Structures are given as structure tokens and as C-alpha cells.
Amino acid sequence: MLLKSLQRYSLRFAKWEFKQPGGIGFLLPTRWFSNDPRELKPTIFDRIIKKEIPAKIIYEDDNCLAFHDVNPVAPVHFLVIPKERITRLSKAETKHTDLLGHLLLTASKVAAQQNLTEGYRVVINDGSKGGQTVYHIHLHVLGGCQCTWPPGTKKENAD
């Protein structure tokens, strides 16, 4: 009974590992997950990956998906998401290195397909203070206009 309870708990909050220090067996947490409910429940991106809701998909392979943003902030605005859910960039681990690199290369490939030959901006928001609203890591690719620095400012006309 206790083991089943711990297994149920482990699916939501931690990965458990059996340890035997001094010959006594213990189940100990090896990695804690967030208690933030936004990071635990399925996201809209999970549903897009499963094709449960429509999206204007412009690229797909075994590892990721790219589609147009439903609320674009630039003439060209698409997202690149991994099919394996990573909730936040700050939660990524060494095992995600290849996948994260693949996302960037895919952003570049799709940007070329979208004729963003003069440049574009890639943005990853992390956490609520970083502006993240969907807790499934995603790259915003923005182009088709002059990007300014800092982001969010408008370029003044010199008249």
C-alpha cells in the first residue's frame, strides 16, 4: 500500500530511486518537479502535437513541430516546439542538449523557408517573470520587419 502511494506520488512530484545506505532500503527522491500546476497539466502544445486541435503547421519531423502563431506580433511569427515536453528552459538538463540544438537548427531552416533572408529574432520566454504563458518550451521566430533593441520598442522615423 505504501509503495503504491509513493509510486502515485512519484508520477507527479519526483523521480524515486531505491537506495540501500548501511543495508537499509529507502526510496529517496532523486529530482523534484515543480509544484506549479501550470507545469504539471497538459498544455495547448501537447494537444497540437497530438493533432487534437488545429494549427497552421509549416514543418514537422520526429523531434519537433513548427507552426504559425495564432497571435502574431510580426509579419512572420512562428513557433518551434519539441515533441518531448520540457516545461521551461531553466528546467532543461544535459540530456536535452541535442534536442535544444535541433530546435535552433529547425528555427533557422524554417526561417529560410519563410523567406526571412535578411534576418529574424528568436525568443525563448522562461517562467512567469520572463513572460512564459505556456509551460512547454517553445521558440518564437519573428521576422519580416525591422527588429529593434531593446525588444518591444518602436523605431522612430527620422523626419
Structural contact between residues 88 and 127, judged by C-beta atoms closer than 8 angstroms: yes
Structural contact between residues 70 and 133, judged by C-beta atoms closer than 8 angstroms: no
Residues 6+ apart with CB under 8 A from 103: 64, 80, 81, 82, 137, 139
Catalytic residue among 96, 102, 136, 138: 138
**Separation between Cα atoms, residue 45 and residue 75, nearest integer Å:** 22
Residues 6+ apart with CB under 8 A from 89: 124, 126, 137
Distance of CA 118 to the CA centre of its chain: 26
Catalytic annotation present for 138: yes
**Separation between Cα atoms, residue 72 and residue 114, nearest integer Å:** 14
DSSP-derived secondary structure letter, 101: H
Q: Enumerate the active-site residues.
A: 138
